[in-house]
């Protein structure tokens, strides 16, 4: 399956409209120490590499070589991901994101994550993230989900993402393994899953959580064909 690319205008519009981060969330992330930067595979939406390359003023092929790897799903679906390894290639020495204004949308909306159950997409907040316990998360729900809903991302493509997105990998091994490959390395799903950690980390090793949730959790149920029917349930 070759997914239809989202237009550059859609990406531009998303970044103009979405206001999930603010001084408060930056402060919380700083206190957390950027745990998600060390433990996540960063997935780009279809066509997002073209948008980001344009924002940086470089060619798409240069962008791929410098920042991306490729996951090939069993049916041949290609998924562009931020270079696999311990740290994101956009994280600079000050632990700041160098593409903050045009970062991948899945980075931008985190801790909003999704699962697919009974052919429906459920958005939820990842409680692994410290922001999930804070009132500031309301901002993410308030703007991210309706905007995501308008992007018409195919459910089939999202299903592929769920086959690895919430797993925990041995990032040291992943980094060593990818050194044998090209600069824009291609991984089959099987190869990637072979580097999965046997023991899943259910807690964030970088921070201590209070069990108290400051705000209630929301669920969104969406239609089957795409993300076109998002609505807040509680």
* Contact set with ligand SF4 (CB under 6 A): 28-29, 32, 34-37, 42, 82, 88, 90-91, 97, 99, 103-104, 107, 110-111, 129-131
Q: How far is the CB of 128 from ligand SF4 (least distance, A)?
A: 7
First to last CA, the chain: 35
Tokens 């593409």 locate to 99
Select 67 or 226, whichever has its Cβ closest to ligand SF4: 67
- Give 107 or 151: the residue with its C-beta nearer to ligand SF4: 107
- Which 3-state string (H, E, C) describes 106-145? HHHHCCEEEEEECCEEEEEECCCCHHHHCCCHHHHHHHHH
Residue 104: strand, helix, or coil: coil
**Closer Cβ to ligand SF4, 52 or 226, answer by number:** 52
- Spatial contact of 155 and 114, defined as CB atoms under 8 Å apart: no
Q: Which phi and psi angles does 199 have, rounded to 5°?
A: -90, 120
Cβ proximity to ligand SF4, 97 vs 116, nearer residue: 97
The minimum distance between CB 32 and ligand SF4, in angstroms, equals 3
**Shortest Cβ 30–ligand SF4 spacing (Å):** 8
Least CB distance from residue 229 to ligand SF4, whole Å? 27
């Amino acid at each position: 399956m070759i997914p239809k690319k989202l237009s550059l205008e859609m990406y531009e519009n998303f970044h103009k409209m979405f206001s999930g981060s603010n001084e408060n969330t930056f402060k919380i992330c700083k206190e957390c120490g950027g745990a998600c930067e060390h433990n996540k595979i960063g997935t780009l939406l279809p066509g997002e590499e073209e948008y980001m390359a344009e924002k940086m003023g470089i060619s798409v092929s240069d962008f791929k070589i410098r920042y991306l790897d490729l996951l090939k799903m069993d049916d041949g679906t290609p998924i562009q991901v931020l270079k696999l390894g311990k740290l994101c290639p956009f994280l600079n020495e000050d632990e700041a994101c160098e593409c903050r204004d045009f970062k991948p949308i899945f980075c931008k909306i985190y801790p909003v994550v999704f699962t697919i159950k009974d052919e429906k997409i459920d958005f939820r907040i990842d409680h692994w993230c410290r922001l999930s316990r804070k009132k500031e998360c309301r901002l993410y729900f308030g703007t991210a989900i309706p905007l995501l809903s308008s992007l018409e991302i195919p459910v089939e493509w999202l299903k592929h993402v769920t086959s690895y997105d919430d797993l925990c990998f041995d990032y040291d091994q992943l980094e060593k393994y990818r050194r044998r490959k090209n600069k824009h390395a291609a991984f089959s799903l099987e190869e990637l899953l072979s580097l999965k950690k046997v023991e899943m980390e259910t807690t964030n090793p970088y921070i201590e959580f209070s069990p108290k949730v400051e705000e209630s959790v929301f669920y969104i149920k969406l239609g089957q064909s795409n993300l076109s029917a998002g609505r807040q349930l509680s």
